[in-house]
Amino acid sequence: MSTITPSSTAAGPGPGDRPPPPRRRGRRAPSYGRSERRLAALLLSPSLVLIGLVAAYPIGYAIWLSLNEYSVRVPGLSRFAGLDNYEAAFAGGFWDALRNTLVFTVASVSLELIIGLAMAIAMHHAFRGRGLLRATVLVPWATITAVTAITWRSIFEPGVGFAPQLLAKVGIAEDVVWLGERGYAMSVLILADVWKTAPFMALLLLAGLQVIPEDVYEAARVDGATPWQRFTRITLPLLMPAILVALIFRTLDALRVFDLPAVLTDGSNGTNVLSLLAYQELTQNRLLGLGAALSVLTFAVVMIVSFLYIRFVGGNIRTLAKD
Amino acid sequence: MSAASTPRSSTAPVAQAGEASRVRARSRRRPMPPLLRNTLLWLSVASIVVFCLFPIYWIVNTSLKTGPQLSSGALWPSEPSLRNYRSVLDDGDFLLALRNSAIVAGSTTFLSILVGSFAGYALARLRFPRKTLLLGIVLSISTFPVIAIAAPLFKLWTDLGIYDAPYGLGLIIPNLVFSLPLTIFILTSFFREIPRELEEAALVDGATRMQTFTKVVFPLAAPGLVTAALLVFFFAWNEFLFAITLTSTPEARTVPAAIAFFTGSVRFEAPIGTISAASVIVMVPLVVLVLVFQKRIVAGLTAGAVKG
């Protein structure tokens, strides 16, 4: 699913920023009425209990599992193993998977930004076909990721797909089994991800373009700015908040990518990413401890990157929570 | 506020009128010949449509091919046939997957809206300490890599005996938890848009806080609820990692897992034909939803992306 990050911003100061109206039955409590707090606790508790039990607790449990050697094949056989699993992860596929994940993330997110921005600008100007365009770009977004992977696999599969023949005709990658070679397999993976999510990026950026006031452009035009100057001096800076939010969404999603490589290549030929490697150790090799260690490491990578982003963009969450 | 705001759809005609006058103003100045400008515009529109829809055309095309046509790479089927669709729909496992997906996605959506609207209302309206921290905790869940949860849940679900539970019932709770941040985020923004005065009037008339919520706020937030429900449904229909980690038999598998493990129903033939037919079948309901609710979906996707 698309990520909602702590730094995504919602409404600026809303109606809630007015001084609180005098409370009926007002206890002279200056800030929080006790009944209001009790109601808030009641309303929030189902969400918090669920999140605590099914997200926070499992993370803690994953850390514990990662410190144990645990065999699914031989039930009951488990022992504390300290950092052995992490050593095994570092000695095994971790670095390779980390590199693949970072290559995938940087390449797909930057292509999505460029293509998404171009799409957003075209949609912004094509006001007549906008309804059609909006429906069209939602189609890749609405396509199940597993289906996306199958589609692109069938496009590039030798014999079945049209792409290898077509590309060979114009002299690109003749005699290449696209999904069977390092580099080529990764580029199909990136292409499939760009197809699926560039439209999402375009919609986010289109929303950003629509709130840029027209008179700014008008003034620039009167002053004789060229279209390119208007783009670099007005559009880009004013669009920056939307671009940053879209980048955060997409980066955190790309770092956790799983469905696409799992179905497209099953991680073969240089497309094994962190989540998929952890999954394989966990279910195919039945190494619960090593799988847990790898998923904790994936978690750590995502947390480090989101921390950097929050430091970078920062503070926007307060806007939403402020009341 | 962003595009998520309820009244936005009603202002769309105004925005278009504004654009029309802008274009008029622009053509007066003639920065670019209108013919060139229009040609460029339509070229870019056409390439966006081709980029987005061609792979969809390709999978439909593949689903209509049988036998040796499947290994031709042809851009259209020479003898289109519905045989793949027939064999997919005769496949009991695929129908089970459709049933399970409907149950999982439907229940996840219902529960997520129910639980999420409580939390969203509290965060949007009530005053209590450490609200920022709470919202931060909720939203940070959506940055968790699912694999870090799936590993321990696999063990927990096995111990609890709900691993591979029929109808995909073991998938509802994990899906619910991962959809809650999105639901709470969207609903918080929508609840904020509802004028406080309406609630205050109800309170003055003697309604309790709970009645105010169920009788005043909830109905007014209907567009936001629809938006959130659509996005949660899409998420749950699409969810793959829990689906393959926490289930192992067709009794429990949902559509994405079933498609990934599909081996084809026609013997001695490349399975890609039947897999494509299955893909088209599961894509149809979502494409219809997209076409019907495109404005609501875009509003939800862009909620919070823009400072208005």
Q: What residue ranges of chain A have pLDDT lower than 70?
A: 1-32, 71-78, 127, 312-323
Radius of gyration, CA atoms only, chain A: 25
pLDDT (0 to 100) of residue B270: 61
Residues in chain A within 8 Å Cβ distance of B177: 50-51, 54-55
Amino acid letter for position A275: S
**Closest CA–CA distance from residue A221 to any residue of chain B (Å):** 9
Contact A15 B195 (CB under 8 A): yes
Which residue in A has a C-alpha nearest to residue B121's C-alpha?
Answer: A43
| Helix/strand/coil for A100 | helix
Buried b (16+ CB within 10 A) or exposed e, B172-205: bbbbbbbbbbbbbbbbbbbbbbbeeeebeebbee
pLDDT tens-place string over residues A73-93: 565 666 777 788 898 889 888
pLDDT (0 to 100) of residue B8: 39
Residues in chain A within 8 Å Cβ distance of B72: 159
Residue B156: half-sphere exposure toward Cβ, Cα within 13 Å? 21
Rounded to the nearest angstrom, the gap between the alpha carbon of residue A231 and the centroid of all alpha carbons in its chain is 27
pLDDT (0 to 100) of residue A286: 76
Residues 6+ apart with CB under 8 A from B43: none
Residues in chain A within 8 Å Cβ distance of B136: 6, 317, 321
User: If 0-12 CB within 10 Å is exposed, 13-18 middle and 19+ buried, where does residue A230 land?
Assistant: middle
pLDDT (0 to 100) of residue A73: 58
pLDDT (0 to 100) of residue A195: 96
Structure tokens, B88:
């997919």
Contact A142 B71 (CB under 8 A): no
User: If 0-12 CB within 10 Å is exposed, 13-18 middle and 19+ buried, where does residue B78 land?
Assistant: exposed
What are all long-range contacts of B42-48, with beta carbons under 8 Å and residues at least 24 apart? B42/A126, B44/A118, B44/A122, B44/A126, B45/A122, B45/A126, B45/A129, B45/A133, B48/A119, B48/A122, B48/A123, B48/A133, B48/A136, B48/A137
Beta bridge partners of A71: A287
CB A247, CB A109: distance < 8 Å: yes
Contact A207 B306 (CB under 8 A): yes
Structure tokens, A208:
């950003």
What are all long-range contacts of A276-283, with beta carbons under 8 Å and residues at least 24 apart? A276/A97, A277/A93, A277/A94, A277/A97, A278/B147, A278/B151, A279/B147, A279/B150, A279/B241, A279/B245, A282/B150, A282/B151, A282/B154, A282/B245, A283/B154, A283/B244, A283/B245
Q: N- to C-terminal Cα distance for chain B?
A: 5
Across chain B, which has 308 residues, the per-10-residue mean pLDDT values are 39 46 49 79 89 92 85 80 88 90 96 94 87 84 86 86 88 93 89 86 86 83 89 93 90 90 61 89 88 86 56
pLDDT (0 to 100) of residue A314: 55
pLDDT (0 to 100) of residue B107: 96
pLDDT tens-place string over residues A252-286: 999 999 999 999 988 888 889 999 999 998 888 77
Rounded to the nearest angstrom, the gap between the alpha carbon of residue A62 and the centroid of all alpha carbons in its chain is 22
Interface of A with B in 235-274 (CB under 8 A): 241-242, 245-246, 252, 255-256, 258-259, 262-263, 274
Contact B134 A161 (CB under 8 A): no
Its pTM stands at: 0.83
pLDDT (0 to 100) of residue A230: 87
